[in-house]
Amino acid sequence: MELDEGWVRELLSALGEDPQRHGLQGTPRRFLRALRTLTRGYPQSLEEVLGGAIFTEPYDQMVVVKDIDFYSLCEHHLLPFFGKVHVAYIPQGRVIGLSKIPRIVELYARRIQLQERLTTQIAETLQAAVTPRGVGVVVEGFHLCLAMRGVEKQNAYMTTSAVLGDFREDRATRMEFLDLLKKAQRR
């Protein structure tokens, strides 16, 4: 099935709307444009996202990038979920360009997702790309499928984590990462 305006008009009609009424005339086009934006992670490749930005560097202390905004669509209801991603890794002779971590988040978030899968994909991708001593990822998400339907809870947030290597095996490393996430962001 091709994404075209016809099926959006059919959907509007099936819902009891008139797709020809003034306010809805441009909706099929706008909806398709929005859907393509929300799922733009599909046509991208990891190689394209990384662009060769892996560098040899002897730095061996924890690197943390926190409060990375993300927006995604849940695979169960196709409703948005969004929030913050926090990523840490301990280099082992190679570092990744700073902007590439949010780009990895975006690559996977802009697909139809589960938060648990998103968390794991980010961690495993960074582990494979840089081969660090360890990776830690925490994702905090607000799910509209939980807020707008079903139990309708507007203050429920979901937190998921994935820890690999030293973050999994060394409690002190994991606690250092979690403590760094608690510290106030300087602006």
Give domain limits for the chain.
Answer: 5-38, 46-182
Active-site option among 113, 121, 127, 143: 143
Task: Write out pLDDT tens, residues 99-124.
Answer: 999 999 999 999 999 999 999 999 99
Helix (H, G, I), strand (E, B) or coil at 76: coil
The Cα 123–Cα 111 span in angstroms is 16
Our answer to whether residue 116 is catalytic in this structure is: no
CATH of the domain spanning 46-182, picked from 3.30.1130.10, 3.30.1330.20, 3.40.120.10, 3.40.50.720: 3.30.1130.10
Q: Which residues pair with 88 in a beta bridge?
A: 64, 136
Digit-coded pLDDT (tens) for 64-86: 999 999 999 999 999 999 999 99
Q: Is 61 a catalytic residue?
A: no
d(CA 59, CA 159): 30
- What digits encode the pLDDT tens for the residues 151-168? 998 899 999 999 999 999
Nearest-angstrom CA–CA distance, 85 and 97: 17
